[in-house]
């Protein structure tokens, strides 16, 4: 009986490990790799050293989760380690983003632990019910500040002022 249970568990683990990585399992990695790959021209795509240089330039403009992803790979000056060749070489072979992220996950599991935060739908949310932290995050995502804001109502007023400028991208 025990042998059968062990066999079933091992078979299940084998099947699980052979299933391809889904985008929601490693969303930041897959989306960032796809977005980065789309910026490369054909000549650069064939040379892994050029890909690495381009990735470092790409990382300088990233923030939030993408910035953390760059840090894990070694695409930033302050990165402690560097596994950039685990990205650049497969990209030069035209490997799909999900397969690249599978390989990266084996090197550093933190890469697939990165998750995007749920986006707030500004058209349907009651700003008064949000926490100040969430209001600040909205402004930060827009690269806006709220100079002199002390009260929650100040942040709400600033968001309402800027909403017409940014709301179209939320639709």
Q: What is the mean pLDDT of residues 14-43?
A: 79
pLDDT digits (tens, 9 = 90+) for 70-115: 999 999 999 888 899 999 999 999 999 999 999 999 999 899 999 8
pTM for the full model?
Answer: 0.65
Domain range summary for the chain, segments of one domain joined by +: 21-113, 127-170
User: Is pLDDT of 25 > 50?
Assistant: yes
User: For residue 21, what are the CA distances in angstroms to 38, 72, 83, 101, 153?
Assistant: 20, 19, 19, 8, 44
Report the percent of the chain where pLDDT is more than 70. 84
State the Cα angle at 86 between 78 and 94, rounded to 5°.
125
Backbone φ and ψ for 27, nearest 5 degrees, come out as: -60, -40
Choice between 171 and 127, residue whose per-residue pLDDT is larger: 127
User: Is pLDDT of 119 > 80?
Assistant: no
For domain 21-113, give the fold.
1.10.225
In terms of phi and psi (left: phi > 0; alpha: psi -120 to 50; beta: otherwise), the region of 168 is alpha
């Amino acid at each position: 009986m025990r042998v059968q249970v062990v066999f079933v568990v091992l078979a299940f683990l084998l099947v699980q490990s052979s299933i391809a990585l889904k985008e929601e399992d490693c969303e930041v990695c897959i989306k960032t790799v796809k977005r980065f790959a789309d910026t490369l021209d054909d000549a650069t795509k064939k040379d892994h050293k050029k890909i690495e240089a381009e990735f470092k330039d790409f990382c300088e403009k990233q923030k939030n989760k993408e910035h953390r992803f760059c840090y894990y790979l070694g695409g930033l000056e302050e990165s402690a380690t560097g596994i950039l060749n685990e990205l650049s070489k497969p990209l030069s072979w035209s490997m799909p983003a999900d397969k690249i992220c599978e390989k990266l996950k084996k090197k550093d599991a933190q890469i697939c632990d990165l998750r995007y935060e749920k986006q707030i739908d500004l058209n349907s949310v009651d700003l008064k019910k949000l926490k100040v932290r969430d209001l600040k995050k909205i402004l930060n995502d827009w690269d806006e500040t709220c100079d002199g804001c002390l009260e929650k109502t100040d942040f709400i007023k600033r968001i309402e002022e800027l909403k017409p400028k940014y709301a179209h991208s939320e639709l």
